[in-house]
Amino acid sequence: MDIGTFSALAEPNRLRIVELLAHGPLTVGEIAERLNLRQPQASKHLRVLLDARLVTVHADANRRNYALQMEPLQEMDAWLNNYRRMWNERFDNLDQYLQELQSKPEQ
């Protein structure tokens, strides 16, 4: 698991940027406006997200379109696989417990 992904997302504005871009690419100005950020801060946060490969840029003349990149999130997903097993186990245990309750409901 690349820690850079966590670092990048561990900042409120950057997490909001990612969530914004989930609905489609946006320019710096649009992002700054919707998140009430000043343009330089938006650019700087996007730079961090870019370095973490969470977004890509496409220059369109004056504008720059930033788009979400899925790979780091897929890596997070894969990392979580190691733990899904566990909370499923726990759920299974609860499930098993409830079924045992079912089979002997009185006392």
Partner DNA sequence: GAGGAATATTCTTGTCAAGGAATATTTAAA
Partner DNA sequence: TTTAAATATTCCTTGACAAGAATATTCCTC
Contact 55, 46 (CB under 8 A): yes
Between 83 and 104, whose beta carbon lies closer to a second copy? Answer: 83
Instruction: Choose the contact partner of 35 out of DNA, a second copy, none; CB within 5 to 8 A by kind.
Output: none
Neighbour-count burial for 4-30, b at 16+ CB within 10 Å, e otherwise:
ebeebbeeebbebbbebbeeebbbbee
Contact positions with a second copy (CB under 8 A) in 63-102: 68, 70, 73-74, 76-77, 80, 82-84, 86-87, 90
Q: Which amino acid is at 71?
A: E
Chain centre to alpha carbon of residue 42: 18
Q: Pick the closest to residue 30 from 20, 22, 19, 45 (CA basis).
A: 20
Count of residues in contact with DNA, rule CB under 7 A: 26
Instruction: Choose the contact partner of 34 out of DNA, a second copy, none; CB within 5 to 8 A by kind.
Output: none
Q: Enumerate binding residues for DNA (CB under 7 A).
A: 7, 11, 13-14, 27-30, 32, 38-48, 57, 59, 61-64
Q: Enumerate binding residues for a second copy (CB under 8 A).
A: 1, 3, 6-7, 9-12, 15, 19, 22, 68, 70, 73-74, 76-77, 80, 82-84, 86-87, 90
